[in-house]
Every structure is written in C-alpha cells, then in structure tokens.
A and B are shown apart, each in its own frame.
Chain A
C-alpha cells in the first residue's frame, strides 16, 4: 500500500516538476543546453525510477501471493497522533520564534514537551529548561556572536 502511494507521489512530483521547468524563461547565451535541460533529465529520471518501483511492487505482490503473505498495509495508530501533535507544537514554536524571541518561545516550547514526555518530574524539567535556555542564549549570542531573535525580552 505505502509503495503504491510513493509511486503515485513520484508521478505527481514529476508532473509538477515538468510544469515548473516549463515556467523557466529560456535565455541560451553561449550555453547549448540552457537552464531547462538538466531539470528535464531529472523529471525523466524520476519517471524511470517510478517505473522501477512499479516493477518492484508487482514483483513483491507475486511473491506475497506465492508465500501467502498479505501484510504491508498502513494503519493510523495512537502514537501517530503524538507525532502529529509534536509537529504542530513545533510549527507553533516557529510562528512565535521571532515575535516572542528565542528565550521565551524556546522556554514555553521545552516546558510543554518535557512536561509531556518526562512526566511527573516537574522540578527537574523546569530547572533543565530554564538553565538550557539561559546558557544557550548567552553562549551563542555573547560568546559565539550568533544572532538570535530577541523578541519582547530587551537583552
């Protein structure tokens, strides 16, 4: 099942990529190929790879029928919700990264995640998060000269 989805995605991606290639304006000055030729080769390459995958799918199906194996389907499970939650929480962290600043946004982000994944150890979690944020901010901005978003904190 997943292989068939990959096959369809590869075909779709090849289609989108060919469309994107057609949008590139052509100015072939002293370059016999221009900016479109290599991308076109990649699009064709992706179609060939998709065809190879289709051959593998058909081959595996034949093998599964002879071996009596019918596994390989995808099932949504509770841990998938957790991963989706982490992704959504990280997306919110990125949205707030500049408005709130590195220190505040990271502190909130870490407190929530450590609170969920290291349950019951509130003091240890809070202390580690505060220390991590403070040390990383000052080490990177003051010692290494890395520019991090200040946000609403004035230093």
Chain B
C-alpha cells in the first residue's frame, strides 16, 4: 500500500510543470544527440553534469534519463537514412531500415521505429515499475562482501561480453579500475599515483574520461572519415510517414516480442541494447514465414530490434536504481551523475527519496509519449540535422566538449585529459579494445575498493567472507562463468561441427 502511494506521488512529481519541461528538454536533446554523430548519450549526459550542478537533482536526473532513452529514438533515424547507426544499439535497424528507405518506404520505417519504440519503451517502464520493489527488498540484505561480488560480476560480464576479445575487455576493465585508484585514498588519506599534479588529488573525473573516450574519439574517427571520403550522405524521406494495414499486421508481434526481449536483456549486466537488438532480429527472422526478406527491407527487421533497444534502457535502469550497480557504459555515466548530485542509488533510495525514484521512473512514461509525438510530426526537422556538413559539426563538438570539461574545475588539465582519452579511445577502437568496460570500472572502482576493504575489516582480514553466504557464492560462480563462457562456447561449437561432419 505504501509503495502504491509512493508510485502515485511519483506521478505528481513527474507532472509538475518544471519536471515536464525537463522531461521534454531531455528527450528533445536526446533525439538530437541520437541523430547527430559525435556526441552519444554517454558523453551527452557527462557534458551536462558540470553545467547543471545547481539544479534540483530530481529535475536534473529526469532530464538525463530523457537524454538516455531519447537518444535511442534518434539513433534509428540515422540508421534508416544513412545506414550508420546514430548510436550502437541501432545497428540492426540500419540493415532493413536502409533497404526500406531505398525502396521508398523510409517514412514507414521511421514510423514503425517511433511507434515500436513507444510501445516497447512503455513495456520496459512497466517492467521497471513491477520489478523495482521486489529487487530492493532483496538488495537490503546486501553487505560489503555481497556488493563487492556483485560489482565483480557486473564487471566480468561487461568485459567479456562487449568486444571481440575477452582478454582485451578485461584489460580495459583493469585500466578503468587503475584510473579509479588515482587520488587521495579515502581511508588512509595517502595520495596515490598523483604524480605531483594537484588536480589529480581528487582523482581523474569520469566526465573528462567519458567525453574523451566517446566524443573526442568519435570526432577523430569522423574527421578521418571525411578525409578518406567514407562519410555517408543522408537519403531523402519518401512515402507517407505512416504504416499500411499490412505493415501494421506484420509489425505488432515483433514490437511486443522486442519489448520483452529488450527488457530482460537490459536487466542483465553486460548485454546491452546491441545484443537485445541482435536477439530480437534473429528471433523475428526465425519466426518469419519469409526469412528471405530479411536484409532486403523486411519491416519486422526494423520493428523488433528498434523496440528491443528501447525497452532495454528501462531494463538497464533496474539494477542501477535498485542495487546501485550499472550494467553498462551509459548507465555507469548515469550512476556518476547520481553521485555528483549527492544521490546514492540503491535499495535505501527507495525509502529515503521515493519522490525522486518514482518521479524519475514515472517521467519515463511521459517522456515516451513526448518522444512519439516529437518523432512523428517533427521527424523532418530532426532529419535536417543530418544535412549539417560534418566538417563543421565535428570541430564544434570539440569546442562543446572543451566548455563542458573546463566548467568542472576551470582548469586546462581537464582539457588535456579529454585529448588524452580521445586519443586512447581512437586507438582502442582501431585495435578492438572496448571502452564501455573501462567507463564502468572507472565509475565503480572507488565503491568496489571501499566494499572490499570494509568486508576485510569486518572479517578481520579473512577472505572467507567472500564465500560465506549463498549470495556471494552465486555471484562468484556467475563471475567465473562469464569469464569462462567466451572460451567454452567456441570449443563447444567446434565440437558440435566436428560431430556433424562425422
């Protein structure tokens, strides 16, 4: 009953004029960020943090969540019209969406993306509403050892599931943890790895790392693309921006299934929107009576993945809000934003700040309605952004990043860090080292070390605290499985194919 009261009060918070305005601003900026190459949702949220310091945390977080799920809507526009996903999770949309656009059905592809995103996004938020409370009751039993093993699981899952090589994923994770150890150690007061630079005493801010790895690296890749002549041109929207009766009939099943697949995958750490979209695509292809149409403009190939990658965002907020542990790069940045505003997500937040949590969750119902309204009639306006010459756009992204970084401490050291991490991100992309594990471990690193040391203090220096409860053992086994899985699966496949041959 108390929970129901909190949920209803959350609607009162979400519908306050100021919060409606920030929901709108968030989804509007999110759509633009999704459409434009360069600043993805992670860098977009990170850049806004220093600028929105003085704001009320509820409104600021509502706006940032709006950017996060709004970017998914915008990402599909770029995927359909220039076959380049505006953000990674739209990669599957670009296959059949672009083929539909070539056949003059760009309007239908954009419409099914917007409608699918709306329905699936709402399915995701309903899932978030339903699962949040039971998970928080479980999370209240967590002590430092449970939190340490939970973070270990999140990191191992993200490091081995993103990217092509598990070893490189783990290297990225450890690099992030190492960066997190820079600065004054909170327990002993000792400076660690500061190299005599006063700005490093507070540690390396995650904002500059995220902006460097995502925005600056993308600028370098984009400018390289212009020089090599590989940047794509946007197609014109042809056809009505609505679906025919037949297209509706073919889309509705994939939308529902995509919504459920996306939510479930979103809750799991490491998987993320891209895997949700791929799973939805393969499911639809398997279920279809015309699998041969996939890859040549099948509307199911747009409706399913686009729905999956939208409900994934709500799913990804489940572990972040209930446990305080993000399961990927973008939610790690969201966690960073929460912490910057002095709000610690996790089970206690549902008791201490129910207005903030439920205001934020319920604002997503409203945000999804705003997005579908924005993305259908105003799609032409957003598409115009694709016609901005990229030779002008990319340099301006550097300037915006410089403003965001300089705003943190008024120090050029942060600008140097953006450049450094931009170069690192560019090189990492070339050599297939994923950056999401680095961001996740950077944000979680401090908390992870604290949990480890607290657990060891409680146990008097005995490691058995980490295998003393069912929760920690389960999480340790899951961590081990997630590390071993990428090595076991290819061997099983090889054994299977050998078996088939014989």
Q: By the criterion CB–CB under 8 Å, are B166 and A52 in contact?
A: yes
Q: List 28 A-B pairs, Cβ < 8 Å.
A: A6-B168, A20-B193, A24-B185, A31-B453, A32-B461, A35-B185, A38-B181, A38-B453, A39-B181, A45-B177, A46-B171, A53-B167, A53-B168, A53-B171, A83-B426, A87-B220, A87-B423, A94-B412, A97-B406, A97-B415, A102-B403, A113-B394, A114-B395, A117-B223, A118-B390, A129-B392, A144-B51, A146-B51
Contacts of B219 in A (CB 8 A): 86
**Binary contact track B155-192/A, C-beta < 8 Å → 1, others 0:** 00000000001111011001101100100010111111
Q: How many Å from the CB of B225 to the closest CB on chain A?
A: 9
Q: How many Å from the CB of A81 to the closest CB on chain B?
A: 9
Q: How large is the interface on A (under 10, 10 to 19, 20 to 34, 35 or more residues)?
A: 35 or more
Contacts of A104 in B (CB 8 A): none
Interface presence of B125 (CB below 8 A) = no
Interface residue ranges, B against A (CB under 8 Å) = 50-51, 54, 165-168, 170-171, 174-175, 177-178, 181, 185, 187-193, 219-220, 223-224, 226-228, 389-392, 394-396, 398-400, 402-403, 406-407, 410, 412, 415-416, 419, 422-423, 426, 430-431, 433, 449, 452-453, 456-457, 460-461
**Binary contact track A31-65/B, C-beta < 8 Å → 1, others 0:** 11111011100100110111011011000000000
Contacts of B460 in A (CB 8 A): 32
Known pairs A28-B188, A83-B224, A144-B51; A94 contacts B415 (CB<8 A): yes
Q: By the criterion CB–CB under 8 Å, are B395 and A38 in contact?
A: no
Interface presence of A79 (CB below 8 A) = yes
Contacts of A83 in B (CB 8 A): 220, 223-224, 426
Interface presence of A27 (CB below 8 A) = yes
Interface presence of A130 (CB below 8 A) = no
Closest A-B pairs by Cβ, 8 of them = A118-B391, A117-B391, A52-B167, A113-B395, A53-B167, A35-B185, A32-B461, A49-B170
Interface presence of A91 (CB below 8 A) = yes
Contacts of A79 in B (CB 8 A): 224, 227-228
Interface residue ranges, A against B (CB under 8 Å) = 2-3, 5-6, 10, 13, 17, 20-21, 24-25, 27-35, 37-39, 42, 45-46, 48-50, 52-53, 55-56, 78-79, 82-83, 86-87, 90-91, 93-94, 97-98, 102, 106, 109-110, 113-114, 116-119, 121, 124-125, 128-129, 132-133, 136, 140, 144-149
Contacts of A87 in B (CB 8 A): 220, 419, 422-423
Contacts of A30 in B (CB 8 A): 457
Contacts of B456 in A (CB 8 A): 32-33
Q: In the assembly, what is the distance between CA of A152 and CA of B187, in Å?
A: 44
Q: By the criterion CB–CB under 8 Å, are B406 and A31 in contact?
A: no
Q: Select the residue from A21, A48, A106 with max chain B CB neighbours within 10 A.
A: A106
Contacts of A39 in B (CB 8 A): 178, 181, 192
Q: Which residue of the partner chain, among B174, B389, B419, contacts A46 with CB atoms under 8 Å?
A: B174
Q: How many Å from the CB of A49 to the closest CB on chain B?
A: 4
Q: How many Å from the CB of B214 to the closest CB on chain A?
A: 16
Known pairs A53-B168, A118-B389; A35 contacts B412 (CB<8 A): no
Q: Which residue of the partner chain, among B192, B224, B390, contacts A35 with CB atoms under 8 Å?
A: B192
> Which residue on A lies nearest to B413, using beta carbons?
A94
Q: In the assembly, what is the distance between CA of A136 and CA of B401, in Å?
A: 12
Q: In the assembly, what is the distance between CA of A95 and CA of B111, in Å?
A: 47
Q: By the criterion CB–CB under 8 Å, are A49 and B174 in contact?
A: yes
Q: By the criterion CB–CB under 8 Å, are A94 and B167 in contact?
A: no
Interface contact tally, CB-CB below 8 A:
179
Q: In the assembly, what is the distance between CA of A61 and CA of B186, in Å?
A: 45
Contacts of A93 in B (CB 8 A): 398, 402
Q: How many Å from the CB of B148 to the closest CB on chain A?
A: 11
Contacts of B392 in A (CB 8 A): 114, 118, 124-125, 128-129
Q: Which residue of the partner chain, among B171, B190, B191, contacts A50 with CB atoms under 8 Å?
A: B171
Q: In the assembly, what is the distance between CA of A61 and CA of B341, in Å?
A: 49
Q: By the criterion CB–CB under 8 Å, are A56 and B167 in contact?
A: yes
> Which residue on A lies nearest to B54, using beta carbons?
A145
Q: In the assembly, what is the distance between CA of A79 and CA of B230, in Å?
A: 12
Contacts of A55 in B (CB 8 A): 167
Q: How many Å from the CB of B405 to the closest CB on chain A?
A: 10
Contacts of A3 in B (CB 8 A): 431
Given A42-B178, A83-B224, 12 more pairs with CB closer than 8 A: A20-B193, A33-B453, A39-B178, A79-B227, A83-B220, A94-B419, A102-B403, A106-B399, A109-B395, A117-B391, A117-B395, A146-B403
Contacts of A146 in B (CB 8 A): 50-51, 403, 407
Q: By the criterion CB–CB under 8 Å, are A121 and B389 in contact?
A: yes
Q: By the criterion CB–CB under 8 Å, are A90 and B223 in contact?
A: no
Q: Which residue of the partner chain, among B181, B406, B431, contacts A6 with CB atoms under 8 Å?
A: B431
Contacts of B461 in A (CB 8 A): 32-33
> Which residue on B lies nearest to A81, using beta carbons?
B227
Contacts of B226 in A (CB 8 A): 117
Q: In the assembly, what is the distance between CA of A83 and CA of B174, in Å?
A: 27
> Which residue on A lies nearest to B450, using beta carbons?
A38
> Which residue on B lies nearest to A30, using beta carbons?
B457
> Which residue on B lies nearest to A78, using beta carbons?
B227
> Which residue on A lies nearest to B410, using beta carbons?
A147
